[in-house]
Amino acid sequence: MKRFLKSYFRSFFIIAAFILINFYIFLDLVKIEEQYSILAYKLAGVNIVFMSLIVTVVEMIVYHWSVKKPLGRIIDGIKRFMTGRFREKIETFQKTDLDEFNQIITGLNEMADELSYMEAIRTDFIANVSHEMKTPLSVIQNYSVLLQTPNLLEEKRQKYARSIVWQTKKMSQMFSNILKLSKLENQKFFPNVENYNLGEQLCECMLLYEEVWEEKKMKIETDLEENVIVCQDRELLSQVWINLISNAVKFTQEGDTISLKLRKEEENVIVTIQDTGCGMDENVLKNIFYKFYQGDTSHAMPGNGLGLPLVKSILNACEGTIEVHSTPGQGSRFTVILNGRG
């Protein structure tokens, strides 16, 4: 607004001065004797053309420095971003009368930072998926060759076959998650709601990892309110609990504790899954719901960064929310809030 007013008053004073000068010149010329009246009108016309030319030149110079040059800098920056050079930021202007252009430049630079970040995650995802596929494909190939061994013992044949089945299930699950995430984000997946007991579902999902948490000698604490009925998509929500419990088991050390709580408060149902594992710092917390992001940069833990983005998308489809609290070295707490209708 300030820049607009300055531009307005500048143009106003230029035009006003132009009119006043010509008006006074005309008054002086009409005082000339009658025989010189034609010359007076010609001089007045020439003066008007001359002053108009000066005003036009001034406005062109002002337009070049206040509009064309800033737009040129912005367009050059956009062209760099279009070629993937996101690190080459657009330089802002020092002049205060170009604050509006600085706001545009700041927004474009922030967009470039986001695009650069997403490009890095995409590249990392491709590397992760390649790594995740390479291992099972190698296992499948090797065991398939071994299955062709003549006079192979039945025990070994069964072992190789089970390994092949396990690896194919692992790959199938990864691609299934990718497809589900894509459908949810593109709103091509419509929840199939039904009334069911949420406490029973949570217990079933927890028991899927019984062998793992028993092997790691973990302590499992449950506090589940009875007869909590929800009207939601049973299959979709099971993916939420499986992913959250899987993460808790995966990142919790031997002998640590995982707690599972369910309670109903007025119209909402609240599920809390908490562990005493490694926890997350602020940087990881800010990014865990981005697709393909993995807080474990060493990739020592299995995974491809799709679990929590899938959880987030499912809860959005189910009109639910998720909150995360975590402290490095002290564990994490995931709280899911759902509408308790049903």
Could you tell me which residue, 164 or 119, shows the higher pLDDT? Answer: 164
Are the C-beta atoms of residues 300 and 261 closer than 8 Å to each other?
no
**203 vs 2, which has greater pLDDT?**
203
* 80: exposed, middle or buried (Cβ count in 10 Å: 0-12, 13-18, 19+): middle
pTM of the entire predicted model? 0.54
Mean pLDDT of 123-145: 76
Say yes or no to pLDDT of 11 above 70: no
In this prediction, residue 5 carries a pLDDT of 58
Digit-coded pLDDT (tens) for 191-246: 678 898 999 999 998 888 888 888 888 888 889 988 888 888 888 888 899 889 98
Q: According to the model, what pLDDT value does residue 299 have?
A: 46
Which tens digits make up the pLDDT trace of 38-74? 666 666 666 666 766 776 777 777 766 677 777 888 8
What size, in residues, is the chain? 342
Name the least confident of 27-36, 100-109, 145-154.
27-36
H/E stretch holding 219 reads strand 219-224
pLDDT score, position 3 = 56
pLDDT digit string, tens, across residues 305-316:
677 888 888 888
Concatenated DSSP letters for 45-69? HHHHHHHHHHHHHHHHHHHIIIIIH
Q: Is the pLDDT of residue 122 over 80?
A: no
pLDDT at 301 over 70: no
Answer with the residue of higher pLDDT: 54 or 104.
104
Taking the CB of residue 253, how many other CB atoms lie within 10 A of it?
A: 12
